[in-house]
Chain A
Amino acid sequence: MGYVEIVGLRKSFSIRGHPLEVLKNVDLRVEKGEIYGIIGFSGAGKSTLARCINRLEEADEGEIVIGGVDIRSLDKQALLRERRNIGMIFQQFNLFEAKTVYENIAYPLRISKTLRKGIHTRVLEAAKVVGLSDKLAEFPGGLSGGQKQRVGIARALINRPNVLLSDEATSALDPQTTLQILELLKEINAKTGVTILMITHELDVIKYTCSRMAVLENGVIIENGNTNEVFGNSKSKTGEIFFKVYAEFQRGPEFTGGDGI
């Protein structure tokens, strides 16, 4: 049994009376402490999958078990407690603009009765890990994208969750910043053993961080396994298209003559 175990997950939305099946029987098994990649095109259902895991969206059918806890059967109070065990970071960072970096990071502790003690030391510690010790008094409005995501990461990890859901966490960042953020996530993963679900549409992100991955297409996992194996096998339609697009980009410089503009 994996640490994150999803079996037969289904979710459909009703759009103007018509049902739209977004997740069709998704199975997923993620081991404790690994960084697991989920790749898929826009609209494949990646965000919906992530949101079903911490029940920002209620799935229609299926089972979600994290560390032995059956997420879908939790009552309201238990769900709130369990969510503190599942961190989440976002493409648009979703920081609180009314709060300083310090208060953003401290937020998960402030809302929890049991965690109020020792907030200060823990915030300083988390800020140090993400390299923002000198920005604590600033407001997120004045930070760069990379710095904002660092705040998001510190905020998601301050509760020491066992799982981190990363939904396109680097998609709004430039390649260099993306690399730094991925490096940071890898470092945190190695140090704390947090299980990371890396959702993305960028092959490079998966290649750089994940040992295992799954390809989601139209709500179905069409392939999964070791990243290297999946990369070697481009039988699937998504695989094929992804690699084609990827290869085109790699060849980019030839088209422009190589010397740039």
Chain B
Amino acid sequence: MSLLDTPLWEVVKGSFAAEVWDKIAPAVFETLYMTAIASLITLVFGLALGILLTVTNPDGLLPLKMFYNLSGWLINILRSLPQMVMIILMIPVARVLFGKSYGTNPCMVAIAACCIPMYARIVESSILEISKGKIEAAKSMGSTNTQIIVRVLLPETLPSLIRGFTVAIIAVLSMTALAGMFGAGGVGDIAVRFGYQRFQHDVLFAAVYVLIALVQIIQFCGNFASKRIIKKRNLI
């Protein structure tokens, strides 16, 4: 069904047809798979990089000006690239890692390269918000830097880290849709192949519903978890 020859209402109705969802269903799983793995990679490396940034900050626990400036610079460069450009630039990297430059895994390299720096910045700003007094208290009790990071910084900022991670997952999701064009599969790929190239707008609509629903669910879960923790800690 195409909007070119069918009224909008008919296309919307058509987008709920069973045969449309037969096409979408496997793509949804591909999207979920890519989002989950890429989010996990983003979480691990983004968190590590974010912590490193805060710790090596000139006012941080272990000031390392060179490292701090260098990684800040690298992050800014990565963040200034449009996602599409990043996917193209990551082709050689993916070829080294996976032996091919096309498909789901190579695209995840590009997604990670985009989202890790973003989440690292979010983590950095979350941790910087923690009051200096708490860190001083931890120091005054003889905590090592590792103990301060693991036992104070991370738990104290958990609600904010979760909210930031929610933003990162949604960014990953939107990028999986883009990566679909580069052979990564998923809902984005379906939307482009059927919706754009073959004018099957009912399929496009269905793909959009899925993306909207996923974003809503992710955001809801993130807000819910972070609010619950804040409430448990009696902070509201």
A: which residues have CB within 8 A of B? Answer: 51, 54, 56, 80-84, 86-88, 90, 92, 94-99, 107-108, 110-112, 138-142, 155-156, 159, 165
Contact of A56 among B136, B152, B155 (CB under 8 A): B136
User: For residue A104, which residue of chain B has the nearest CB?
Assistant: B137
B: which residues have CB within 8 A of A? Answer: 131, 133-134, 136-144, 147, 151-152, 155-156, 158, 232-235
Q: Mind listing 30 A-B residue pairs with CB under 8 Å?
A: A54-B140, A56-B136, A56-B139, A56-B140, A80-B143, A80-B144, A83-B142, A87-B140, A88-B137, A88-B140, A90-B137, A94-B133, A94-B136, A95-B134, A96-B134, A96-B137, A96-B155, A97-B235, A108-B141, A108-B142, A111-B147, A112-B142, A138-B234, A139-B234, A139-B235, A141-B233, A155-B141, A156-B141, A159-B141, A165-B140
**Which of A92, A108, A111, A139 is most buried by chain B, counting CB atoms within 10 A of its CB?**
A111
Q: Report how far A202 CA is from B137 CA in the complex, Å.
A: 23
Across-interface contacts of B134 in A (CB, < 8 A):
94-96
Across-interface contacts of B156 in A (CB, < 8 A):
96-98
Contact: B131 with A84, CB < 8 Å?
no
Contact: A98 with B136, CB < 8 Å?
no
Across-interface contacts of B232 in A (CB, < 8 A):
139
Across-interface contacts of A139 in B (CB, < 8 A):
232-235
Distance in Å from the Cβ of A155 to the closest Cβ of chain B? 7
Across-interface contacts of B140 in A (CB, < 8 A):
54, 56, 83, 86-88, 165
Contact of A111 among B131, B151, B155, B234 (CB under 8 A): B151
Contact of B141 among A98, A107, A140, A142 (CB under 8 A): A107
Contact: B155 with A80, CB < 8 Å?
no
User: For residue A84, which residue of chain B has the nearest CB?
Assistant: B142
User: For residue A81, which residue of chain B has the nearest CB?
Assistant: B142
Contact of B137 among A82, A84, A94 (CB under 8 A): A94
Across-interface contacts of A110 in B (CB, < 8 A):
151
User: For residue A99, which residue of chain B has the nearest CB?
Assistant: B155
Contact of A84 among B141, B155, B233, B234 (CB under 8 A): B141
Contact: B155 with A98, CB < 8 Å?
yes
User: For residue B154, which residue of chain A has the nearest CB?
Assistant: A98
Distance in Å from the Cβ of B46 to the closest Cβ of chain A? 21
Q: Report how far A95 CA is from B152 CA in the complex, Å.
A: 10
Contact: B133 with A80, CB < 8 Å?
no
